[in-house]
Amino acid sequence: MKFEFIEDFLKEAKKNDNFRTLRNIVPFSARKCIADGRRCLNFSSNDYLGLSNHPDVIAESTKWVNKYGAGSGASRLVTGTIDAYENLENEIAEWKGAEAALIFGSGFLANSGMIPALAGHGTEVFADKLNHASLNAGCRLSDGDFKRFRHNDLGHLEKLLEKSAGSSRKLIVDETIFSMDGDMSDVEGLQKIAQKYDAILYLDDAHGSGLFGARGEGLANPSACDIAMGTFSKALGSYGAYAACSKELRDYFINSCGSFIYSTALPPAVCGAISAALKIVQSPESSEIRTALQKKAAKLRSSLQELGFDTGESSSHIIPVVLGSSETTMKVSKFFYENNILVTGIRPPTVPAGKARVRITVNAIHTEEDMALLIKKFKEIKEKIS
Ligand X SMILES: Cc1ncc(COP(=O)(O)O)c(C=O)c1O
Residues at the contact surface with ligand X, assessed by CB under 6 A: 106-108, 111, 132, 134, 175, 179, 204, 206-207, 231, 233, 241
Q: Determine which one of 54, 96, 234, 355 is catalytic.
A: 234
Rg (CA), the chain: 21
87: annotated active-site residue:
no
Closer by beta carbon to ligand X, 114 or else 381:
114
> In 220-325, where does DSSP find H-type helix?
247-256, 258-261, 268-281, 284-306
* 83 secondary structure, DSSP code: H
In angstroms, give the least distance from the CB of 206 to ligand X. Answer: 4
What is the closest distance, in whole angstroms, from the C-beta atom of residue 83 to ligand X in the complex?
24
Q: Give the nearer residue to ligand X in terms of CB position, either 85 or 202.
A: 202
Q: Out of 54, 132, 170, 377, which one is annotated catalytic?
A: 132
Minimum distance of ligand X from residue 176's CB (angstroms)? 9
Q: Output 45 or 231, the one with its CB closest to ligand X.
A: 231
Contact partners, residue 187, CB within 8 Å, separation at least 6: 176, 203, 219, 220, 221, 224, 225
Q: Please, which residue, 220 or 323, has the CB nearer to ligand X?
A: 220
- The verdict on whether 255 is a catalytic residue reads no
Note if 285 is an active site residue. Answer: no
| Cβ proximity to ligand X, 111 vs 329, nearer residue | 111
- Between 128 and 370, whose beta carbon lies closer to ligand X? 128
Burial of 261 (0-12, 13-18, 19+ CB in 10 A): middle
Closest CA to 282 of 54, 94, 53, 87: 94
Distance CA 345, CA 360 (A): 9
Report the side by side order of strands in the sheet with 344-346: 318-324, 356-361, 344-346
Query: Which one of 60, 89, 174, 204 is the catalytic residue?
Result: 204
Least Å from the CB of residue 43 to ligand X? 16
Alpha helices in 25-81 (DSSP H): 55-68, 76-79
Closest chain position to ligand X (CB): 107
Task: Tell me if residue 46 is catalytic.
Answer: yes
Catalytic residue (choose from 46, 209, 314, 316): 46
Beta bridge partners of 53: none
Determine how many CB atoms are found less than 10 A away from the CB of residue 74.
12
Distance from C-alpha of 117 to C-alpha of 221, rounded to nearest angstrom: 21
Quote the CA–CA distance of 336 and 210 in Å, as a whole number: 29
Is residue 234 part of the annotated active site? The answer reads yes
Query: In the chain, what is the greatest distance between 2 CA atoms, to the nearest angstrom?
Result: 61
Residues 337 and 47: their CA atoms lie apart, in Å, by 19
* 156 included as an active-site residue: no
Give me the helix-helix angle, 368-385 and 326-338, nearest 10°: 130
The answer to whether residue 91 is catalytic is no
Q: How far is the CB of 201 from ligand X (least distance, A)?
A: 16
Q: What's the min distance (Å) between Cβ of 230 and ligand X?
A: 9
Which of the residues 207, 317, 355, 366 is marked catalytic? Answer: 207
- Is the Cβ of residue 15 or residue 20 nearer to ligand X in the bound state? 20
**Least distance (Å) between residue 107 CB and ligand X:** 2
- The catalytic position among 47, 124, 175, 205 is 175
| CA distance readout (Å), 144 to 97, 228, 243, 355 | 30, 20, 21, 29
Which residues are designated catalytic? 46, 132, 175, 179, 204, 207, 234
